[in-house]
Amino acid sequence: MIRTLEDLRTRLGDVRGADRSSGGPRVALVSTLGALHDGHVDLIHEARRRADVVVVSTFVNPLRFRTADETASYPRSPEADERVLRDLGVDVVFAPSVEEFLPAGTATTRVSAGDVGLRYEGRVRPFYFDGVLTVEAKLFNLIRPDVAVYGERDLQRAFLVQRMVRDLDFGLEIATVPTVRTDDGLPVSSRIALLEAADRRAAAKLPRALEAAASNSDLGVDACIAAAQSALMGEQRIALEYLSVVDPATFLPVDEGHRGRALALIAATVGGHRFIDNAEISLR
């Protein structure tokens, strides 16, 4: 368990120097906000499959929240997280304070996510992806991983990180892992446990909406969106924020003439908690 940048550099230097004859071990990074769940466990298993040394960060990034109160209210479970990470055999856990990791606070240099960073999640939270990329870039510089692993629940984040890695020549691989879901189809997240029973039943309609979109993919993009909207009709507990079909190569909305692979994205608030989800569809 490492809490300072200096100790992190020292520990990773020791790790990389342990096998100089073969160029050192392969290092994987799993970047989290803590409050670990089954989705994170899958990311760590994938990281172990791809590398010799697994580093997990558990940093609640204040740059991705609107206010200090939102940052403070994010769920935290450090003792439980440490038990999970020990049981999984994680080699290095990086858990710095905000003061250690961002000594300039929120007035720090930022990485811009560009136009795509202002769409979908970025339209709801225009500061969000700049904050995400800024912290990911700093982690990449500190840890120098060979591969970083992300969940497909937030494909927009994975897309933007991949583009940053390419554009800024970070020289690492970005891997994604399929979304882990509950029995009722919701992507696993720390927010699910906060829902009341009625809100939980309502939230389960979000993946059903994506299934409806996929079922109508042979009728074109407009039919996909209409089918998803119909699946949510009459559910007053769901406040839909966006529902879009995008090209996975650009993350821009597809037009009616698009054929082939596409992604259906959805975000909504249920019981005061935000949920995002996505599904791959094939437009014919």
Catalytic positions, written as ranges = 40
The conformational region for residue 15 under phi > 0 = left, psi -120 to 50 = alpha, else beta, is alpha
Report d(CA 191, CA 278) in Å as an integer: 17
Looking at the domain assignment, is residue 256 inside a domain?
A: yes
Query: pLDDT per residue over 204-249, tens digit each?
Result: 999 999 999 999 999 999 999 999 999 999 999 999 999 999 999 9
Q: What is the pLDDT averaged over residues 5-24?
A: 80
The alpha carbons of the chain give a radius of gyration, in whole angstroms, of 20
Q: Do both 141 and 210 map to the same domain?
A: no
pLDDT at 21 exceeding the cut of 70: no
Q: Is 234 assigned to a binding site?
A: no
Other CB atoms closer than 10 Å to residue 272's CB: what's the count? 11
CATH number at residue 229: 3.30.1300.10
Report d(CA 17, CA 152) in Å as an integer: 33
Q: What total number of domains does the chain contain?
A: 2
Cβ distance 24 to 18 under 8 Å?
Answer: yes
Q: Going by C-beta distance under 8 Å and a sequence separation of 6 or more, which residues neighbour residue 133?
A: 110, 111, 112, 113, 117, 160, 161, 164
Looking at the domain assignment, is residue 62 inside a domain?
A: yes
Q: Do both 150 and 201 map to the same domain?
A: no
Q: Do both 157 and 229 map to the same domain?
A: no
pLDDT class of 105 with cuts at 50, 70, 90: confident
Looking at the domain assignment, is residue 262 inside a domain?
A: yes
CATH number at residue 171: 3.40.50.620
Instruction: State the virtual CA torsion across 149, 153, 156, 159 in degrees, nearest 10.
Output: 30
Domain range for 218 = 192-278
Q: Is 122 assigned to a binding site?
A: no
Which one of 177, 200, 222 terminates a domain? 177
Q: What is the pLDDT averaged over residues 50-65?
A: 95
The pLDDT of residue 22: 62
The pLDDT of residue 19: 55
The pLDDT of residue 98: 94
Q: Is 21 assigned to a binding site?
A: no
